[in-house]
């Protein structure tokens, strides 16, 4: 890239020489030249942005209030997880009371921050197993780097989650969205891999009764 | 004729505001699906809250500016209200959190009220005037021009509250600014944030999270509308500033033409679009760096307090913000505006806030990090560098600059001598770094060039355009003056800072850290080019006396 840079510097030097000469011979032209160049720059920018920047600067306009600009082929910037958190997890928690299983204390502070209220409940082993056997009922699932989100709400990171940082093996969040419609209380628990399950209390009771 | 023109302008402004209001109403139905699913109770309320958040912030700043103003024009009050409001909110919040007072809206409101009352009585005492006369004199005039500007501002606020404007988010946007800001409103203290991996306290500037806290207090999920409005505010200040500069040198029509073109050029640059829509502290740094240049250039009596506030904001915005603030103070000294004591007073609040923060995080909270240990502000190396930057700047302002200035100006009549000496110092530092690790520096230079020229890059095709614009301004002598030093020195200094202090390898991508810091100075570059261009065009305009 050094060659290209040197070439551009040389061309800029020639450009300087040209306008320098012009400023001596035809000083009146400088105003027109500057104005013309600025118009050209603006037009160039607008065309370039339309042709290249904005197609790369992908806009999600289908579902979001805000358009989440992301760059194609940019691993750092594009991550559907960002959308998921903002569009699914936070709205779910907002204005809802969370009944959190006491074995899921890791998420307690997080839920306290983002939900209306948190109450701790104790689920039996059978209740947990019944729930986990209904995994297919959870219509929304997504990888969940809870470490990132928990960064400022946990004092210690559990051993089981260290690989999520080192090897990018993320826990998953499972949400039964249909059961949450119009419900103000939800129940949340985690399994041994720190996968998080979220559903309404009514749904939870229903599958327990069926079992 | 003039009244008719004003009325016409006001009418267009109101029309613009009305169209924005219609878009705002339409957006309610467009956004409905998004909110309907599981989110919010009342969409109309949510969008109104976004609007109210902008309006209240603008009023906060406006009230403050009206209290302190003596010569600040009405238009400047309107233009600077919003960024000043953001500063006041962040300062009050920071002050409360540092003192361990629970971070709540009433606490911030009382703090701000106390500041306003204090300023009011101080001013009253200083001016020794009666209350009513003083406060009335400070109110902006109800002129068609002011009403037009207000209508445009209101229209843009409505637009920003619709959610139609785009934003660009990355991991940091969410976790270190939006969610962390939200966390502060719930936990209400820094002490409850601190843990075994306190990344947000040791590696993140606190200003932007506090702005997000403001949005959170309103019940909003993000502060995107604040970012969008601030971008507009920056462009409005840019246009106004450039117009004032051009009007000194060219006819009204030409001034308007070039100001509009330069503003459009800035607004359409790929690098500006990306940085201004990316929810990161870089965008805010870009705004406040520019505003410092703006208020200094359009000098008024209130400049001192505003510059001081904006420098403090820089120190709070990023962990390397104090370096930017220190650099700007060196530039102010080079410009020889104000006495050296006043220059020092500009810098003092920023330095105090920075040292207070370091003391608080390192000693009071004893915050540690499991990751990003080397970039933590609580490292001995980083603390040493910050203290060195603060002491170095004070020594430069008080001792070095007066001596160099006397030597070059009075004895040699060579006004650019001091800036050239500073460039030389920087080049020597880069030379030493290169000697220490040739590959490291060459690679970093290579990455910088690639990031500027490679397709597709964060610069788009703007890099070459900026270079051409700068080349044109080289016709205006002197070129190597303090104004050029502001951006060129900034670029070189940050290259040194990133290479030496952070020992950071640059990388080729949109998100290269150095490139984002580089881009923060872009509006200031165009502004300074505009300033030089106005003087240049004046000299190339036939019979330029008649032009002005």
> Which segment of A37-46, A76-85, B96-105, B482-491 scores lowest on mean pLDDT?
A76-85
Tell me whether residue B237 is in a domain.
no
Chain B residue with the nearest C-alpha to that of A88? B38
**Number of domain units in chain B:** 1
Is cis: bond before B403, omega within 30 of 0? no
Structure tokens at B344: 């020092």
pLDDT of B309 reads 96
Q: Which residue, among B216, A138, B472, A105, has the nearest Cα to B464 in the 3D structure?
A: B472
Range of the domain at B94: 13-164
Contacts of A175 in chain B (CB under 8 A): none
Tell me whether residue B175 is in a domain.
no
Contact B446 A66 (CB under 8 A): no
Contact A48 B471 (CB under 8 A): no
Name the percent of chain A lying above pLDDT 90.
18
Query: Which member of B169, B453, B460 has the closest CB to residue A53?
Result: B460
Contacts of B231 in chain A (CB under 8 A): none
C-alpha–C-alpha distance, residues B87 and B309, integer Å:
7
The yes-or-no verdict on residue A71 having pLDDT over 50 is no
pLDDT of A160 reads 64
Question: How far does B442 lie from chain A, in Å, by closest CA?
Answer: 10
pLDDT of B38 reads 42
Question: How far does B24 lie from chain A, in Å, by closest CA?
Answer: 12
Contact A35 B265 (CB under 8 A): no
pLDDT of B162 reads 81
Query: Which member of A2, A87, A153 has the closest CB to residue B449?
Result: A2
Q: Is B393 helix (H, G, I), strand (E, B) or coil?
A: helix
Contacts of A59 in chain B (CB under 8 A): 166
pLDDT of A73 reads 30
Tell me whether residue B243 is in a domain.
no
C-alpha–C-alpha distance, residues A154 and A147, integer Å:
9
pTM metric for this prediction = 0.87
Question: How far does A92 lie from chain B, in Å, by closest CA?
Answer: 6
- Best interface-test mutation with B: which of A91, A139, A151, A198 has the largest number of B CBs within 10 A? A151
Contacts of B268 in chain A (CB under 8 A): 42, 45-46, 49
Tell me whether residue B409 is in a domain.
no
Tell me whether residue B298 is in a domain.
no
pLDDT of A67 reads 41
Please tell me which residue, A46 or B3, carries the higher pLDDT value. A46
pLDDT of A68 reads 43
pLDDT of B269 reads 94
DSSP per residue, A116-135? SEEEEE---HHHHHHHHTTG
Please tell me which residue, A161 or B14, carries the higher pLDDT value. B14
Tell me whether residue B360 is in a domain.
no
C-alpha–C-alpha distance, residues B261 and B266, integer Å:
9
Average pLDDT, chain A: 75
Contact B168 A70 (CB under 8 A): yes
Tell me whether residue B472 is in a domain.
no
Chain B residue with the nearest C-alpha to that of A110? B183
Query: Which member of A31, A113, A151 has the closest CB to residue B199?
Result: A151
pLDDT of B313 reads 97
Q: pLDDT means per 10 residues in chain B (548 residues)?
A: 72 90 83 52 77 95 92 90 97 96 95 94 73 56 82 92 74 78 84 75 91 91 87 96 92 93 95 89 96 91 91 94 94 90 93 95 81 73 91 94 86 79 92 87 88 78 93 88 92 89 75 88 95 88 54
Beta pairing partners, B167: A68
pLDDT of B199 reads 77
pLDDT of B409 reads 79
For the stretch A59-70, pLDDT in tens is 443 333 344 444
DSSP per residue, B347-384? HHHHHHHHHHHHHIIIIIS----SS--TT-TTSHHHHH
Contacts of B257 in chain A (CB under 8 A): 35
pLDDT of B366 reads 83
Tell me whether residue B156 is in a domain.
yes
pLDDT of A60 reads 41
Contacts of B38 in chain A (CB under 8 A): 88, 91-92, 177, 180-181
């Amino acid at each position: 890239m050094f060659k290209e840079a040197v070439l551009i510097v040389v061309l800029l030097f020639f450009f300087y020489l040209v306008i320098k000469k012009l400023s001596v011979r035809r000083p009146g032209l400088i105003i027109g030249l500057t104005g013309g160049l600025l118009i050209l720059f603006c037009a160039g920018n607008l065309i370039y942005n339309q042709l290249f920047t904005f197609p790369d600067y992908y806009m999600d306009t289908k579902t979001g209030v805000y358009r989440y600009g992301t760059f194609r082929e940019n691993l750092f910037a594009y991550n559907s997880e960002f959308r998921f958190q903002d569009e699914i997890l936070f709205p779910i928690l907002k204005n809802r009371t969370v009944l959190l299983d006491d074995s899921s204390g890791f998420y307690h502070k997080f839920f306290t921050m983002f939900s209306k209220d948190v109450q701790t409940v104790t689920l039996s082993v059978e209740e947990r197993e019944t729930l986990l056997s209904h995994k297919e009922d959870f219509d929304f699932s997504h990888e969940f780097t809870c470490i990132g989100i928990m960064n400022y709400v946990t004092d210690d990171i559990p051993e089981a989650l260290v690989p999520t940082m080192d090897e990018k093996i993320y826990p998953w969040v499972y949400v039964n969205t249909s059961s949450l419609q119009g419900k103000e209380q939800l129940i949340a628990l985690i399994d041994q891999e720190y996968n998080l399950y979220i559903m309404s209390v009514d749904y939870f009771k229903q599958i327990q009764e069926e079992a | 004729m003039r009244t008719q023109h004003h009325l016409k302008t006001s009418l267009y402004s109101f029309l613009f505001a009305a169209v924005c209001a219609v878009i705002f109403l339409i957006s309610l139905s467009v956004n409905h699906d998004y909110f309907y699913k599981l989110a919010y109770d009342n969409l109309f309320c949510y969008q109104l809250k976004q609007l109210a958040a902008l309006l209240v912030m603008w009023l906060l700043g406006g009230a403050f500016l009206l209290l302190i103003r003596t010569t600040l024009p009405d238009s400047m009050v309107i233009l600077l209200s919003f960024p000043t409001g953001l500063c006041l909110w962040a300062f009050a919040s920071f002050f409360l959190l540092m003192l361990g007072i629970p971070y709540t809206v009433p606490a911030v409101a009382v703090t701000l009220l106390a500041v306003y009352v204090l300023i009011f009585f101080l001013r009253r005492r200083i001016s020794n005037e009666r209350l009513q006369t003083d406060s009335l004199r400070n109110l902006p005039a109800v002129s068609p021009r002011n009403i037009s500007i207000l209508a445009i501002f209101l229209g843009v606020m409505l637009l920003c509250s619709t959610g139609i404007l785009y934003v660009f988010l990355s991991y940091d946007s969410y976790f270190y600014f939006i969610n962390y800001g939200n966390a502060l409103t719930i936990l209400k203290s820094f002490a409850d944030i601190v843990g075994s991996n306190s990344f947000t306290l040791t590696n993140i500037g606190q200003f932007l999270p506090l702005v997000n806290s403001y949005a959170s207090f309103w019940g909003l999920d993000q502060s995107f509308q604040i970012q969008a409005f601030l971008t507009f505010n920056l462009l409005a200040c840019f246009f106004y500033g450039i117009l004032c500069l051009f009007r000194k040198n060219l006819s009204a029509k030409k001034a308007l033409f070039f100001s509009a073109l330069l503003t459009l050029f800035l607004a359409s640059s790929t690098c500006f679009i990306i940085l201004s829509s990316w929810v990161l502290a870089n965008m805010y740094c870009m705004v406040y760096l520019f505003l410092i240049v703006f208020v200094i250039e359009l000098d008024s009596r209130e400049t001192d307090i505003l510059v001081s506030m904006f420098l403090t904001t820089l120190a709070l915005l990023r962990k390397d913000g104090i370096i930017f603030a220190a650099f700007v103070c060196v530039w102010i000294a080079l410009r020889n505006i104000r006495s050296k004591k006043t220059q020092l007073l500009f810098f003092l609040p920023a330095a105090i806030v920075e040292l207070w923060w370091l003391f608080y995080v390192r000693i009071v909270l004893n915050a540690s990090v499991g990751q990003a240990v080397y970039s933590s502000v609580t490292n001995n190396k980083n603390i040493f560098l910050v203290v060195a930057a603060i002491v170095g700047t004070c020594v430069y302002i008080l001792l070095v600059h007066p001596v160099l200035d006397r030597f070059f100006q009075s004895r040699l009549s060579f006004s650019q001598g001091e800036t050239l000496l500073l460039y030389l110092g920087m080049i020597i530092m880069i030379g030493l770094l290169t000697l220490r690790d040739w590959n490291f520096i060459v690679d970093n230079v290579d990455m910088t060039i690639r990031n500027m020229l490679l397709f597709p890059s964060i610069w788009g095709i703007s890099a070459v355009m900026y270079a051409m614009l700068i080349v044109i301004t080289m016709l205006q002598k002197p070129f190597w003056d303090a104004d050029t030093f502001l951006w060129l020195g900034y670029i070189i200094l940050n290259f040194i800072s990133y290479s030496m202090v952070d020992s950071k390898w640059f990388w080729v991508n949109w998100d290269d850290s150095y490139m984002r810091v580089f881009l923060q100075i872009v509006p200031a570059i165009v502004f300074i080019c505009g300033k030089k261009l106005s003087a240049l065009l004046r000299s190339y305009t036939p019979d330029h006396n008649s032009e002005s």
